[in-house]
């Protein structure tokens, strides 16, 4: 992925956690690889927590450097990366300060990228301030989630930003779409004749998508208590993954072809009747427990969380898609904090054989399944049954394993690195279009409204477990269970 595209990358929130842990390390990796970033490209950090470039570079050395390359830092590459960085100190709440930004970047070359690594309350004021000094023309703007609290607030932000930037200038980022296994899911489905005939209701019994975290809310208690798992993870990450799993083959991989097919899936999601939410939606909240031998506190005692909070930290859903390919196939989505393991994966459970001459083991659910793991280790495994050595016809589960780090010698590209390069090079396919976002909010909102109206507290679960028992019971009703034994 080499480029000659010159750019000026303006990073709002230049001293924030996201900039420290993800954005600047990703830009460094692209710089270190050579050829991915044009030599003339500049990074302009915008923040209030530094007074000048010297102080900001000191902050980068102290806080960003520990998060870069896992194999150590090439000091020569690090030094040349720092030469790319400029700094502007402005108050994002003061539109008049943006004159200083305009003056600082007006002579810098290439396409201008404005990355808003800030709270969503600043998105619209920043966009208006950019427009007030003429910086919205011939530029691109990247919006981090969460983009709104519900459909109404999401539309309000999109309307305001859309008055200043055209849709093709707006890059709504979802970092899960940049992960290597998600890209390989597209390659697996649309680059091979083997799987596509099986990717439909006749051969697929169910599909699971899990994003599980061991961490709690950490220092984000104030934010998370006003958000919850459904808004934080389901409305974006999980529904985006579902749309890629379930989409029809696009006629090409250009941005609108891919996003058109994803949108068709989101619009085909079966609306959930509020009367059925208790059957198809489980919400939970973690209590104290033990994770990897360490005692961890309950959510209600985390800093910034209201003691009587009813915010969910776990969600499990049964989802159906009303189209020809997937009618009758349940999709089970699950996400939560303080769970038993950190894992993100997609599990495609194929139907059992219609009749077995080899015994009951050939008829069990999940005997044939495809497991696409996104984290922590990125692999694709195809499970099937084979005869055990020895006397008799005893079957055992075996698998074919594609471990990317073993098969491909070159290092894998991190999600943010891929997505930032796509922004610089003007590739929109892996970014969320407004109509996709609206369709996702429209489907999620009835669940949010019903939970709010019911006043029922989330189901408790101990930290270090896989969530409330009701989550497993929901799958048991369909003769299946969550895949939890993989490591």
Would you say 209 and 373 are in contact if contact means Cβ atoms under 8 Å apart?
no
Would you say 89 and 47 are in contact if contact means Cβ atoms under 8 Å apart?
yes
Q: What angle do CA 157, 344, 65 make, to 5 degrees?
A: 75
Q: Rounded to whole angstroms, how far apart are CA atoms 64 and 365?
A: 47
Tokens for 236, please give them. Answer: 């974006």
Tokens for 126, please give them. Answer: 């920043």
**Strand order across the beta sheet in which 85-89 lies:** 85-89, 42-47, 7-12, 111-116, 139-143, 170-172
Q: Rounded to whole angstroms, how far apart are CA atoms 355 and 445?
A: 43
Would you say 467 and 336 are in contact if contact means Cβ atoms under 8 Å apart?
yes
Q: Rounded to whole angstroms, how far apart are CA atoms 160 and 154?
A: 10
Of the candidates 255, 120, 70, 231, the one whose C-alpha atom is nearest the C-alpha of residue 177 is 255
- Among candidate residues 31, 67, 175, 237, the one labeled active-site is 237
CB-based contacts of 477, cutoff 8 Å, min separation 6: none
Of the candidates 224, 467, 225, the one whose C-alpha atom is nearest the C-alpha of residue 341 is 467
User: How many other C-beta atoms can be found within 10 angstroms of the C-beta atom of residue 131?
Assistant: 16
CA atoms within 13 A on the CB side of 319: 29
Q: Rounded to whole angstroms, how far apart are CA atoms 397 and 388?
A: 9
Q: What are the DSSP E strand ranges found in 288-352?
A: 289-291, 294-296, 314-319, 331-336, 343-350
Whether residue 408 has a cis bond before it, omega within 30° of 0: no
Separation in Å, CA 270 to CA 263, 266, 279, 439, 440: 14, 9, 14, 12, 12
Residue 478: active-site member = no
Tokens for 137, please give them. Answer: 């023309």
Would you say 9 and 27 are in contact if contact means Cβ atoms under 8 Å apart?
yes
User: How many other C-beta atoms can be found within 10 angstroms of the C-beta atom of residue 290?
Assistant: 12
Would you say 401 and 378 are in contact if contact means Cβ atoms under 8 Å apart?
no
Tokens for 346, please give them. Answer: 């997609």
Give catalytic residues, as residue numbers.
237
């Amino acid at each position: 992925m080499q480029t000659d595209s010159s750019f000026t990358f303006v990073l709002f929130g230049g001293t924030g956690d996201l900039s420290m842990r993800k954005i600047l390390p990703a830009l460094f990796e692209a710089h270190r690889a050579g050829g991915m970033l044009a030599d003339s490209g500049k990074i302009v950090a915008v923040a209030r927590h530094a007074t000048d470039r010297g102080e900001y570079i000191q902050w980068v050395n102290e806080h960003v450097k520990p998060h870069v390359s896992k194999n150590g830092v090439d000091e020569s590459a690090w030094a040349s990366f720092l030469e790319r960085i400029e700094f502007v100190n402005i108050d994002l709440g003061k539109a008049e300060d943006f004159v200083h930004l305009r003056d600082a970047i007006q002579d810098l070359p290439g396409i201008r990228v404005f990355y808003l690594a800030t709270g969503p309350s600043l998105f619209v004021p920043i966009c208006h301030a950019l427009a007030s000094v003429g910086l919205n023309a011939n530029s691109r703007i990247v919006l981090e989630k969460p983009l709104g609290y519900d459909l109404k607030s999401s539309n309000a932000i999109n309307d305001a930003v859309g008055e200043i930037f055209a849709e093709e200038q707006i890059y709504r980022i979802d970092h899960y779409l940049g992960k290597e296994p998600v890209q390989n899911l597209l390659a697996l489905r649309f680059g091979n004749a083997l799987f596509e005939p099986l990717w439909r209701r006749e051969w697929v019994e169910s599909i699971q998508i899990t994003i599980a975290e061991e961490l709690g809310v950490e220092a984000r208690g104030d934010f998370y208590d006003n958000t919850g798992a459904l808004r934080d993870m389901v409305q974006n990450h999980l529904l985006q993954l579902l749309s890629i799993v379930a989409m029809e083959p696009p006629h090409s991989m250009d941005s609108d072809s891919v996003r058109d097919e994803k949108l068709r899936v989101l619009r085909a999601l079966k609306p959930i009747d509020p009367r059925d939410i208790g059957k198809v939606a489980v919400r939970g909240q973690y209590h104290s427990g033990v994770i990897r031998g360490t005692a961890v506190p309950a959510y209600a005692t985390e800093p910034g969380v209201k003691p009587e909070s009813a915010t969910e930290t776990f969600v499990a859903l049964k989802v159906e898609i009303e189209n020809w390919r997937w009618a009758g196939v349940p999709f089970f989505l699950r996400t939560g904090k303080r769970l038993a393991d950190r894992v993100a994966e997609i599990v495609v459970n194929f139907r059992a054989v219609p009749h077995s001459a080899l015994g009951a083991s050939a008829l069990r659910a999940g005997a044939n399944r495809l497991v696409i793991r996104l984290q922590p280790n990125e692999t694709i495994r195809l499970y099937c049954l084979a005869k055990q050595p020895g006397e008799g016809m005893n079957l055992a589960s075996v698998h074919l394993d594609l471990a990317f780090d073993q098969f491909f010698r070159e290092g894998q590209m991190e999600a943010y690195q891929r997505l930032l390069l796509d922004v610089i090079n003007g590739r929109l396919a892996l970014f969320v279009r407004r109509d996709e976002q609206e369709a996702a909010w429209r489907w999620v909102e009835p669940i949010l409204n019903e939970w709010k109206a019911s006043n029922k507290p989330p189901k408790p679960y101990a930290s270090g477990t896989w969530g409330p028992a009701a989550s497993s019971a929901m799958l048991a009703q369909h003769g299946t269970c969550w895949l939890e034994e993989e490591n």
